[in-house]
Amino acid sequence: MATTFFYNILFVTLLYLISVSNACPPSERAALLAFKAALREPYLGVLSSWKGKDCCHNWYGVSCDPTIHRVTSIDLRGRSEDPIFAKAHRTGYMTGSISPAICRLTRLSSLTIAEWNGISGPIPPCIASLSALRILDLTGNKLTGEVPSEIGRLRRLAVLNLADNQISGIIPQSLTNLSSLTHLDLANNKISGSIPKNFGRLRMLSRALLSQNNLIGPIPISISQINRLSDLDLSLNQLSGPIPASLGKMAVLSTLNLDGNKISSPIPPSLISSRISILNLSRNAIEGSIPDAFGPRSYFSVMDLSYNKLRGGIPKTITSAAFIGHLDISHDHLCGPIPPGSPLDHLEASSFVYNDCLCGKPLKAC
């Protein structure tokens, strides 16, 4: 009888020890609760599951390494297909700030606190100490302050998404140390200053989205050294100076958006004969003519050169382009006949209006 009782006690003790060893460390649980305390989410209750001693088990948005039971991921999105959102028939709204307590989760590799619309305050500078971080996604909030000056310490960071906030200051020079970065999105903020001259050090980058800021100065020539870059969006800034001709020689660049800047130099012919399929140079002060450089490699799903100071005629080589889906050369100073036939014969008058003296279909006859 006593032996049976002893084994029962031993069994219960072992179960307890196993459960404790499989739980997250108390220090990480405390860090998460401090992080939670700085936030307010009144409608969905997504953080109401953050209770109990084991933050690795059924805490919404929290994931842990199954072997060492340390917190490795926080994924909190205000827009989600999770049943919590479907049941409430609404997107999320959260206020408060991002507590520096998050930096006590030293094994964190992914941090997403995105699209909550109301989270404000600065990005804790200590985030730069999270050496395992690969994904930092804070898009769609009301964050202020600057990009942490030591962000470049995150050598494993692959995704940096700070878009749609109210972040100011400059792009820190250390950002160009992010040798693993593949996706950079700083769009729709209040970032000023110039793009670092050595931006081209980001050799793994495939998307660079810096639109809708207050960036000034030239487009760094070093960008053309990023061989994997496929999408470059610098639109709606105050950039000036020439468009680097080397952008047209990039191997995989397919989207180039420079619209809404203060660029006044001519269009490099290399952009016309490049692999770029979406080219938007509209709403600048670009002078000169449309380069006579079209050929069989010219395949544009979109080409927008409107609202500039272009003069001369539409080059005849445009008829040799493989495809032009959407063309807008309105509100310029172009003159002369519109080349008949493909690839312009499907376009409407709105593509050509408000020039000096363009003529021919779909405008009036010459």
From first to last of the 366 residues of the chain, give the pLDDT tens digit. 445 544 444 443 333 434 444 679 999 999 999 999 999 999 899 999 999 999 999 999 999 999 999 999 999 999 887 888 877 788 889 999 999 999 999 999 999 999 999 999 999 999 999 999 999 999 999 999 999 999 999 999 999 999 999 999 999 999 999 999 999 999 999 999 999 999 999 999 999 999 999 999 999 999 999 999 999 999 999 999 999 999 999 999 999 999 999 999 999 999 999 999 999 999 999 999 999 999 999 999 999 999 999 999 999 999 999 999 999 999 999 999 999 999 999 999 999 999 999 999 999 999
What is the per-residue pLDDT for 17?
37
Question: Of 359, 330, 361, nearest to 344 (Cα)?
Answer: 361
What is the per-residue pLDDT for 227?
96
Q: How many CA atoms lie within 13 A of 356 on its CB side?
A: 12
Instruction: Let me know: does 108 contact 131? Beta carbons within 8 Å.
Output: no
Q: Which amino acid is at 48?
A: S
Domain edges within the chain: 22-146
What is the per-residue pLDDT for 85?
81
b (16+ CB within 10 A) / e for 217-229 = ebbbebbbbbeeb
What is the per-residue pLDDT for 4?
52
Question: What class is the 22-146 domain?
Answer: alpha beta
What is the per-residue pLDDT for 135?
98
* Count of positions (residues) in the chain: 366
Measured CA to CA, the distance from residue 321 to residue 315 in angstroms comes to: 11
